[in-house]
Structure 1
Amino acid sequence: MSLHRIPRLIALATLLAMPCVAQSTQATQNRYQREAVDADVALHNVHFGTGETLNTLRLHYKTLGKPHRNAAGKIDNAVLILHGTGDRSDSMLTSIFADPLFGPGDPLDITRYYVIFPDDIGHGQSSKPSDGLHARFPHYDYDDMVQTQHAMLTEELGIDHLRLILGVSMGGMQTFVWGETYPGFADALMPLTCLPVPLAGRNRMMRYAAMQAIRTDPAYNNGEYKTQPPSIHTANTILLVTGTSPLVLQGIAPTRKQAEAYVDQTVAQRDANTDANNFLYYIDSSRNYDASQHLDRITVPITWVNTADDFINPPELRIAEHYAPQLKQGKFILLPISPETRGHSTNMLASIWRPYLVDLMRHSQPAH
């Protein structure tokens, strides 16, 4: 297991804060958004870890590239990319994420790889509380998400092996779960901006505070509201700054008026795209996450990347340094604070961590 820090990176264009919990908004479509193919699968009689069931679970996903079959007829070029909390597959097709990864000669060149971007349970166009069950929707967690992703791949898409699993934030934590639950299913793993430990301390506090703001709001009405409860504004405000860094926010709002305008504009945009039940479910889906107990089950090369200005996973806790040595074929990278990093949202700036993906793909090349 090795630990690395990288030098300052070449300056990137200014990127406004992209929080851990966000709905993707696209002003114009880039080539990858235009080329992505949308599809749905239906999983039946789905059992959740809580004991709850759902007769039919719809999982939406997008793909880029084409599946390739080896001599045995097996798909051998599939890559799974997992989004963050409250987000959706669309976010992984934005230019800042897609352009450094999927073009000719890039590490996930879509002329070579078949890239799959699921909308997780409770997110995007997949089944979620706002579809009609509201607070009667099954209380899913990360294990449920990974198990249904696995079912989608194996039962519906005919994929029994992946070249790579890459995930950001919640998707990074799911990458750890994948490595432990299905050892060797992927040739390589790349979790970004996450930790393998239970969510506690400040991380859980801010999530709990946001959820309680909604739960204790009389307008929430046990999930049977007709219009969004006002407390969704409070919840979104609590989570406002989690996805970026003080250096960035100081730069984009150097005066009091600019800072206040930024809050007003950003929270209003989030409020317009947030459903209270969906919010409660996807925030709470991390409640029993703990990948720290079985890191020894991860047998394939894994490159784990965090950033020093991550408010959600602050490096001063030194959690990564404690657990990284337990990864048999692992590398942990801590990106230093710089004008180029964006706190937790650095996970969406693929140019920053692309060199480590190139290295991971090279050193995890399967034997033929």
Structure 2
Amino acid sequence: MSGRNWMLRRMLTEMVRNDPEYQDGNYPSPPRSLRIASAFFALATNGGTLAYQKVAPTMELADNYVDTQLAQPFTLDANDFLYQWAASRGYNPAPGLEQVQATVLAVNAADDERYPPETGLMERAMQHVRHGRLFLIPASEDTCGHGSSGLARFYKAELQELLLSAPRRASM
């Protein structure tokens, strides 16, 4: 956890913790900053630059999009929210990558805002996974940044190939 990804996560939690309505976690109702912080993080780190430009090519459409996001039903608990985001503090899978025995297809998107491929972090990490490879989803108006890796249509063929070619272990 590093770079802009960690910085934004840290800012996300600071926005809520520093809201006077948070009251050190003893709030009678969720602090208003929680909804804004959550919507901000989602817009900043998930959605894809080209996709957002396509749905909001004008300031008015961009404002409408933000208004719609802020009007969504919201049921998050502030303490749970802070715990979830703080849980990534200190996360580092690197020491165990050499021990991975499974065949791995790591999927990332060229427009991923949280794990931008230009940092080279994923490429370097995958060099330590014996039977692993990285598939990078090309950016387009149809991708949605960090959210693209959750949409199998972008890597269906690569996943099918992996499932057909991966060595099988004898069952016990």
The normalised TM-score by structure 1 is 0.44
After superposition, where does 1:263-282 map in structure 2 within 5 Å?
Answer: 263-269=66-72, 272-282=74-84
Aligned-residue offset at 1:203: 0.6
| Structure 2 Cα separation of the partners of residues 214 and 339 of structure 1 | 32
User: How far apart are residue 367 of structure 1 and its match?
Assistant: 4.3
1:267 and 1:293 map into 2 onto residues whose CA distance is 40
- How far apart are residue 254 of structure 1 and its match? 1.2
TM-superposed CA distance for 1:250, in Å, is 0.7
> Which residue of structure 2 aligns with residue 288 of structure 1?
90
Q: CA offset at residue 339 of structure 1?
A: 2.5
Query: Which of these residues, 242, 245, 251, is aligned with residue 54 of structure 2?
Result: 251
SS at match of 2:145: coil
Residue deviations 1:108-141, cap 9 Å, x none?
xxxxxxxxxxxxxxxxxxxxxxxxxxxxxxxxxx
CA apart distance, 1:365: 4.6
1:305 is paired with a residue whose SS is strand
Match of 1:351 in 2: 153
User: Which string of whole-angstrom CA distances, capped at 9 and with x for unpartnered residues, describes residues 297-331 of structure 1?
Assistant: 10121111111000111111111222211111111
CA distance, structure 2, for counterparts of residue 366 and residue 315 of structure 1: 31
Conserved 8 A contact 2:15-2:37: yes
Equivalents in 2 of 1:204, 1:327: separation in Å? 24
CA distance in 2, matches of 1:312, 1:355: 24
- Please provide the CA RMSD for this pair: 1.5
In structure 2, what residue type is equivalent to 1:266? Q
Amino acid at match of 2:63: E
Residue in 1 that maps onto 2:30: 228
Q: Distance in 2 between matches of 1:238 and 1:340?
A: 21
Structure 2 portions without partners, runs of 5+: none
**3-state SS, counterpart of residue 286 of structure 1:** coil
Q: CA offsets per residue over residues 221-267 of structure 1, 9 Å max, x none?
A: 12121111111133124303211111001111111111011111113
Q: Which amino acid aligns with 2:62?
A: A
Q: Which whole-Å deviations, capped at 9, do the CAs of 1:317-360 have from their partners, x for residues lacking one?
A: 11122221111111111111122321111122211111122122
| Greater share of helix | 2
Of the three residues 116, 132, 137, the one matched with 1:314 is: 116
Percent identical among aligned pairs is: 33
Q: 8 Å contact 2:13–2:82 — kept in the other structure?
A: yes
Task: Within 5 Å, give how 1:61-76 maps onto structure 2.
Answer: none
What is the distance in 2 between the residues matched to 1:273 and 1:337? 32
Structure 2: distance between partners of 1:269 and 1:275 = 15
1:360 to 153, 162, 165: 162
**4+ residue stretches of structure 1 with deviation over 3 A?**
none
Which residues of structure 1 form unaligned runs of 5+?
1-198
What is the rounded CA distance, in whole Å, between the counterparts of 2:10 and 2:89 in structure 1? 10
Residue 297 and residue 263 in structure 1: after superposition, are their counterparts in 2 closer, same or farther (change >3 A)?
same
